[in-house]
Structure 1
């Protein structure tokens, strides 16, 4: 049997968790980004591709997506509020072609103050918009996590909304 002090501790824990969960649910977000630390903050950065990149395909532009192991490498300049703000480097590899086309992509946003890395697995064609996982960073972004919402406005570019938890 549990002693009275253990029952009290268990009851207090359940009540505390219920209150915290209730508060978070009332705010519309089950786990706020700053829950538990009081130090986390979310920053949203809107970037646009400049359309200056030129992708490289292996084995070729016609075959990369239909060949397991086919790859695409690309870079592009990034703009923020119409002004140069860094660059993006991306690589994708075709993981399967039939019955489902699957691609794994990863890359980095090279920004003033550091870089933000990301990854994304894609089945069939990616409808726009879609999200990619922010997996880390360097410099000012060394504790970065979160996601980037990608809205394609061209085949290899578009609007990027980085939702970064620091």
Structure 2
């Protein structure tokens, strides 16, 4: 991956994660008591719109990464990291459920798709952070077999 591709992927991933966490946090914990009972946060709409606007940038940069990084590693048989393969398997459920939740009209489907999106995106974020940390440690000369947390 070129430095521009890497920077774009990191920026899109962290912006999408930040707006998604903000959206989820406001949705779950941002309710306030109104005149007639609990009301959603007035910021929820903005957070959701920002997430929906930023997420396609992540989808685009993930496509660039799959083409230029993942396929190259798989074709050459290079030893990949488990976090990278985990990321690859989480892309489809995260992206597809994210788009589907926007168009689902049945409450049961919306709930199932929301949970699927939240769980797959959360796992993606953890794997992405782990993958980035291992890449950073490898660049600093820490051998691959060394435990990160000192086990």
TM-score, with structure 2 as normaliser? 0.22
Higher alpha-carbon Rg: 1
Structure with greater helix percent: 2
Structure with greater strand percent: 1
TM-score, with structure 1 as normaliser? 0.21
